[in-house]
Chains A and B, each alone.
Chain A
Amino acid sequence: MAIYDLDAILNRYGDGFLILEFNHLFISSSIREEVWLLQRRADSVLVENIMREAEEFSIYDVKPDKDFDTYSGGQKAILACLLMLALIRSQKIHGLKLLLNNVLDSLSDDNRLKLFGKFKEMRSSHEIRLFTDTKDRIQEIF
């Protein structure tokens, strides 16, 4: 049995879902770089929005160029979710199915609830559906 099998997740769900996976949250090393790569341009307003939202999750020491490796595991998971939500807003993406893999279990109860609140806002405005993984199947949260 595999403990961690990214290929299996991608094969099973890669076509239908945008997947956020705990062990592969980012492709670069900082928020500024991540935004640049995903939008193919610098966007300081978007970065500032993410930083401001991060404070709601008690991530006070967030900075545009702070290395992701200096955040805790849970903080990284939150930042990845906020980044994704910010991009969905800015790109005006609708109807996306998001799959969080090993992400929610890394969050404290209060932060998990706050994050659900953020996703719920997007559900109505952007028709987003949120899923999470269990061991052998996925489950729709809302």
Chain B
Amino acid sequence: MRSGCSLIPKTAFKRYFEGMEIKRGTYPLARRGLNFRLADDLNFKNSACRFYLRGGNGFGKTSFLEKIIIPALKEDKVPYIYIGQDIRTQLYTLRALLSVQGIKVSDNDEVELLKLWIKKSRSATVFILDEFDKYFPDYGFIFDWSNAFIRTYIIVTHLGEGRSDALSAKYQTCNVRFDLTDFDGHIKNISVKKE
């Protein structure tokens, strides 16, 4: 639903992003007071995978999504679905979007609204969920509705991996850890690495 606007120069994109792969390297986001040191390549294109982004509060997981990953998806013209932390604004937007498309949505049933939107987004191959589990600790229904067309899930969470089921066999799990290395009074250096 939402998308970020990258602070990384265009030329840097060419260097860092090859296909749906984010190369290991340094990704500065000075305006957000963050400097990411990505220790491993993040490959979103090869196999079906669920990436779990974990780490302390304020270590830039959402910024990494909005300023690094989503611009990379856009650069590669990869359709994606994004449910951000502020579900309230998104539900308003979603309702308006579907209404404009002539789809009647009941006033109350927001889960049905979400299901409709996902079903209409079958061109997407990447699904991003930022702390959606705070609204539904068991959000397996999201996978049920979307695993026919989604190859990669990128999930920011402070909780567990969700249910373990047949999908676990279909999707590899990749945990990506965000840790604070140091803070110089202005910029937080954040180490990002696969576990």
Q: Does A71 contact B (CB under 8 A)?
A: yes
Task: List B49-71 residues whose CB lies under 8 Å from chain A.
Answer: 55-63
Q: Bound state CA distance, A6 and B51, in angstroms?
A: 31
Q: B111 and A1: CB pair below 8 A?
A: yes
Return the chain B residue nearest A3 by Cβ.
B110
Q: Does A106 contact B (CB under 8 A)?
A: yes
Instruction: Say yes or no: A108-B91 contact (C-beta < 8 A), given A2-B108, A3-B110.
Output: no
Q: Bound state CA distance, A6 and B136, in angstroms?
A: 16
Encode B171-193 as 1/0 by CB contact (under 8 A) with A.
Answer: 00000000010010110100000
Q: Does A22 contact B (CB under 8 A)?
A: yes
Encode A81-98 as 1/0 by CB contact (under 8 A) with B.
Answer: 000000000000000000
Q: Does B158 contact A (CB under 8 A)?
A: yes
Q: Does B109 contact A (CB under 8 A)?
A: yes
Q: A108 and B56: CB pair below 8 A?
A: yes
Q: Does A61 contact B (CB under 8 A)?
A: yes
Q: B57 and A105: CB pair below 8 A?
A: no
Chain A residues whose CB sits within 8 angstroms of the CB of B116 once the complex forms? none
Chain B residues whose CB sits within 8 angstroms of the CB of A22 once the complex forms? 134
Chain B binder among A29-37, A42-50, A52-60, A123-131: A52-60
Q: Bound state CA distance, A135 and B111, in angstroms?
A: 13
Encode A102-142 as 1/0 by CB contact (under 8 A) with B.
Answer: 10011111111000000000000000000000110000000
Return the chain A residue nearest B57 by Cβ.
A74
**Chain B min CB distance to A80 (Å):** 12
Chain A residues whose CB sits within 8 angstroms of the CB of B112 once the complex forms? 1
Q: Interface extent on A, as a size class?
A: 20 to 34
**Chain A min CB distance to B139 (Å):** 10
Return the chain B residue nearest A60 by Cβ.
B183
Q: A71 and B58: CB pair below 8 A?
A: yes
Q: A106 and B110: CB pair below 8 A?
A: no
Instruction: Say yes or no: A105-B131 contact (C-beta < 8 A), given A23-B87, A71-B58.
Output: yes
Q: Does B114 contact A (CB under 8 A)?
A: yes
Partner of B56, one of A71, A77, A102, A110: A110
Q: Does B144 contact A (CB under 8 A)?
A: no
**Chain B min CB distance to A123 (Å):** 23
**Chain A min CB distance to B106 (Å):** 10
Q: B87 and A73: CB pair below 8 A?
A: no
Chain A residues whose CB sits within 8 angstroms of the CB of B56 once the complex forms? 58, 74, 108, 110-111
Q: Bound state CA distance, A137 and B183, in angstroms?
A: 40
Interface positions of A (Cβ within 8 A of B): 1-4, 6, 22-23, 57-61, 70-75, 77-78, 102, 105-112, 134-135
17 contacts between A and B (CB under 8 A): A1-B108, A2-B111, A3-B91, A3-B111, A3-B135, A4-B88, A23-B88, A59-B58, A60-B183, A60-B185, A61-B33, A61-B188, A71-B58, A72-B60, A78-B57, A105-B137, A134-B137
Further contacts, 6 of them, CB under 8 A, given A22-B134, A60-B183, A105-B134: A1-B111, A4-B110, A71-B58, A72-B59, A74-B58, A106-B158
